[in-house]
Chain A
Amino acid sequence: MVKATRVTNDIRELRAARGITQAELASAVGVTRQTIIAIEQGRYSPSLEMAFLIARALGTRLDEVFAYPAD
């Protein structure tokens, strides 16, 4: 069984705070809504470029969206 990625994110909270739907974020980033759901749930690690695009679409910094917790 593949383990979930250790990269955590606050996309769902940031979207909720801004009133942005998954479909709208997906459209802004250029991916499917399923991909946004997979990233939010930690089932898919986006590329660095996609991570920057998500942060830009949410109007925030990359490190406010994604984190990589220490052991």
Chain B
Amino acid sequence: MSNILDIQSEPSYRRGMDDDQRIPTTTSERTAWVAAVLTPLATAGYFAVVLPQLADTRVADLAWQAPMLWSMGLNFVGTIVVTILVTIVAGIGAGLRREHLDTSSDVRDRDIDRYGSRVALTIAAGGLLAALVLAMLELDPFWIGSVAFLIGAIGATAGAIAQLRAYRGVFRG
């Protein structure tokens, strides 16, 4: 048959099977790992900077906008930088094991990415609803912004964890 892989003539004992090699991570999985770690850290950093101010500052006078923007920016840039670093390290590790580092993505990666986004957006929608309720109650913008930010971060983290579970467990799409 012409479509069959043209490698059958060489015996498998000489070619060596790769079944027992470690299961490789894909680029999307590595990105999910980075997001699952960095998003909680960046969010915790924001609250670590802002919440202590509540002890001696009125809520209306809190300087929360800049720390939140810094947290978002560092999370965004950090995810890109750390993903690149992790990919470099993975490439070095693969080279040492004489394996090829696959940096491509396929339909399963895209399915899992969509699944993670769906989880994240579902939770983020809850954050939007919570922010609306707080706005209706005319709470200070600090509380509205912080609650929306926190639930958005929880959603992003949950989405990344859902992706990781799908990568290493059963994923039915």
Chain A residues at the B interface, C-beta cutoff of 8 Å: 1-5, 12, 15-16, 18-26, 28, 30-35, 37-38, 42-45, 47, 50, 56-59
Contacts and interface: CB of A to CB of B under 8 A. Distances in A.
A20 B171 contact: no
Contacts of A12: 19
Given A31-B107, A32-B102, A2 B10 contact: no
Given A16-B12, A37-B23, A45-B172, A32 B3 contact: no
- Interface pairs A-B: 9 shortest CB-CB: A59-B4, A19-B12, A31-B106, A2-B170, A21-B18, A59-B1, A35-B108, A56-B3, A43-B170
Nearest to B23: A37
Which of A4, A5, A23, A44 is packed against the most chain B CB atoms within 10 Å?
Answer: A44
B4 to A, nearest CB: 3
B60 interface: no
- Chain B residues touching A, majority SS: loop
Contacts of A1: 169-170
A23 B100 contact: yes
A34 B19 contact: no
Nearest to A59: B4
B53 interface: no
B173 interface: yes
A48 to B, nearest CB: 12
B5 interface: yes
A22 B5 contact: no
26 contacts: A16-B12, A18-B8, A18-B12, A19-B7, A19-B10, A20-B5, A20-B7, A21-B16, A22-B18, A22-B19, A28-B5, A30-B106, A32-B104, A32-B105, A32-B109, A34-B24, A34-B26, A34-B167, A38-B108, A38-B171, A42-B170, A43-B170, A44-B108, A44-B173, A45-B172, A59-B1
B159 to A, nearest CB: 16
A42 B48 CA distance: 44
